[in-house]
Amino acid sequence: MKPEILPEERVSRRRLTPFRRALYALLAPLCLLLLKAWWGSCRLVRVVGQEHLDAALARAPSLLPCYWHQHELFCGRYLLLQMPRGLRLGFLVSPSVDGEVPAMVARRLGAQVIRGSSTRTGARALRDYYQLLVHENVSPVITPDGPTGPPFVFKPGALLLAQIAGRPLLPMAYAASRAWFFGWDRFVLPRPFSRIVVAIGKPVYVEKSVALSEPAVLAAWQQRMQRELHELFETAQEALS
């Protein structure tokens, strides 16, 4: 199984110095330990909509999990826990040298690593993701407002990808009983010993007949997915009560 899925030219051409390589080899297990400790300090008390993931996987071996960038920490954690069921999960990691540690951590968690930039790949990214979804049965995580925003705006790439690949978008969100918020998207960092609820929506299929090339149609689908993600967050919040 190849850890690098996108073409070689996507990866940064900057070479790791021996010092950086040694430093990253030390940092990766430390980051992984901290991440697992944070996950372990919180308690997943409920998953709302587990049946929607089951339904999507029963219909096709891969899908497109999607959630706001701020919900990466525990939506990603929940998906990682589904890998023993056969879910082949993929994470997009920057091709720069700065992405080396996150890539190492993702591999150690058993996920596929996709080295590329969602801000620069364009049509080539759609081609490569199609290969992942349809021919390799990898389910690449999509954060439709990432990596730099604007926050809570569902960018069109995920919709186009779902349509050409014939794979569903699986909207997700999570809520924490207590959390810190920071960054451009108010990234959610649950405080230790928080309670967590994950909410999963129905699989969203973008049929071939949908004219996404028409601006009004595309905008309507973007708004639909934005509403879906916001409503799932509200569902998760209500389930914490």
Query: Where in the chain does DSSP place strands (E)?
Result: 43-48, 64-66, 89-93, 112-115, 139-140, 169-176, 179-182, 187-190, 195-200
Q: Can you tell me the mean pLDDT for 168-189?
A: 96
Look up residue 174 and give its DSSP letter. Answer: E
* Topology of domain 17-240, CATH: Glycerol-3-phosphate (1)-acyltransferase (3.40.1130)
The more confident residue out of 3 and 209 is 209
Does 75 have pLDDT greater than 80? yes
List pLDDT tens digits, range 117-135.
555 445 666 777 888 899 9
Domain boundaries, the chain: 17-240
List pLDDT tens digits, range 43-57.
999 999 999 999 999
Give pLDDT, residue 50: 96
| Dihedral sign for Cα atoms in the order 53, 186, 160, 113 | negative
Q: Can you tell me the mean pLDDT for 124-151?
A: 87
